[in-house]
A = this chain, B = another copy of it.
């Protein structure tokens, strides 16, 4: 480890500068105006893979944004690790809430990051976490110690549902052949309490449109006599949860995994400070499904959130309009063994059923993803565990996360390989929010941890034979 740490120390400034260059490219996959930026970011990743020591690297077109693929085959007899990450980022809106420019990275100190954090869109999700793998690879290559074959698959559509990744995996199934997939796109509890993600929630995401009268009406002349689609939409959304915050969509909980009491008890031992949580969010109180803790509500229980709502006059001042239409984006996080497609169907049927006959309702599904559970009784999990012990000096806690990485289920199905979710971010990194950031310590600790994974995984596999 001495050589590795020296190498990281000697190249620290360059490692940071290179990440900054990547963060400056506004690769927003959801926004078609950024098409060229997507290509620039993909090229940048490809170039850096080659410079780090890949045998080959290429930008491969898809029907959407391209995927970067690179590899270093050391010895066909060694186990093969496929690193997955993404170079696309969430839209930076709302822009006015950023304290610095989203695509002009700066380092600032925070309560959670006393040694400084990089503020930029994508710093944690996922450019910083993806790029640390390329730098770990570079270090291993320079030090002449690569105990596994390594493949990189870095996509550009994770934030918009990875629509073309499935076809890509099926098309290049031999090229992508591997023993395990390694992903850093999740968080740890803290740098003092390292953790490994052992579960992810699935996702069902729909857009709804409620149409009342065929045109916007004067709210004085018609108000009271005609159902207002915004009021109706509010009624319908309000009815989606009952007084215990249970989701009322018919059949919604039918397939939800019942987690054993012992497992819930174990989970309850993970450090979680509710007061600090509330303080961080400036909340007087939290709220959620009755009978579950905050940690359980975001891990073993499904949820439903309105991600956006709009309708009527939203400009300056007052307009007395009774609008013709109202819209909302609504998403549900799913847990094992709910199916994204099935839940989308149940929601659609339910939402149309509860609509009064004074409006028309249209439900359009966006991307979805399946929930995932990662077993802890495997060589790959043990390798990740040991790598964290080496770098952090203490054992990581296995922890389910509330987020979704829809492609994990896909990888298992198409590539037949399990994924390890070895994330180095923090939940407080403001992912998908203004002022997203990624700790300097997290970045460099990541570079230090990853080579340990390859070492332990290779050794565990050797013992097995």
Closest chain B CB from A161 CB (angstroms): 7
In Å, the complex CA distance between A284 and B357 comes to 6
Oligomeric state, in copies: 2
Per-residue CB contact flags for chain A residues 384-409 toward chain B (1 = under 8 Å, else 0) read 00000000000000000111100000
Distance in angstroms from A90 CB to nearest chain B CB is 6
Given contact pairs A215-B433, A298-B225, A308 touches B321 in the complex (Cβ within 8 A): yes
A238 and B304 alpha carbons, distance in the complex (Å):
18
Bound-state CA distance A198–B228 (Å) is 26
Q: Does A346 contact B (CB under 8 A)?
A: no
User: What's the minimum C-beta distance from A301 to chain B, rounded to whole angstroms?
Assistant: 6
A190-219 interface (Cβ within 8 A of B): 201, 203, 205, 207, 212-219
A343 to B173, CA, bound (A): 67
Q: Does A93 contact B (CB under 8 A)?
A: yes
A74 close to chain B: CB less than 8 A? no
Chain A positions 317-350 with a Cβ under 8 Å from a chain B Cβ: 317-324, 326-329, 331, 333
Q: Is A144 an interface residue (CB 8 A)?
A: no
A60 near B: Cβ within 8 Å?
no
* Of the residues B213, B230, B358, contact of A306 by C-beta under 8 Å: B230
Q: Given contacts A235-B238, A282-B213, are A306 and B228 in contact (CB under 8 A)?
A: yes
Residue of B nearest to A322 (CB): B305
The answer to whether A298 and B224 have CB atoms under 8 Å apart is: yes
Q: Least Cβ distance of A89 to chain B in Å?
A: 11
Is A164 an interface residue, CB under 8 A from the partner?
A: no
In the complex, what residue of chain B is closest to A201 when comparing beta carbons?
B220
Which of the 9-residue segments A79-87, A258-266, A286-294 touches chain B?
A286-294
Given the known interface contacts A311-B309, A312-B309, the answer about A430 and B231 at a Cβ–Cβ threshold of 8 Å is no
Q: A323 vs B304: C-alpha distance in the bound complex, in angstroms?
A: 13
Contact (Cβ within 8 A) A313 B298: no
Chain B CB within 8 A of A297 CB: yes
Residues of A within 8 A of B (CB): 30-32, 90-91, 93-94, 97, 159-161, 187, 201, 203, 205, 207, 212-228, 230-231, 233-235, 237-239, 241, 281-289, 294-295, 297-298, 301-324, 326-329, 331, 333, 356-358, 366-367, 401-404, 427, 430-435
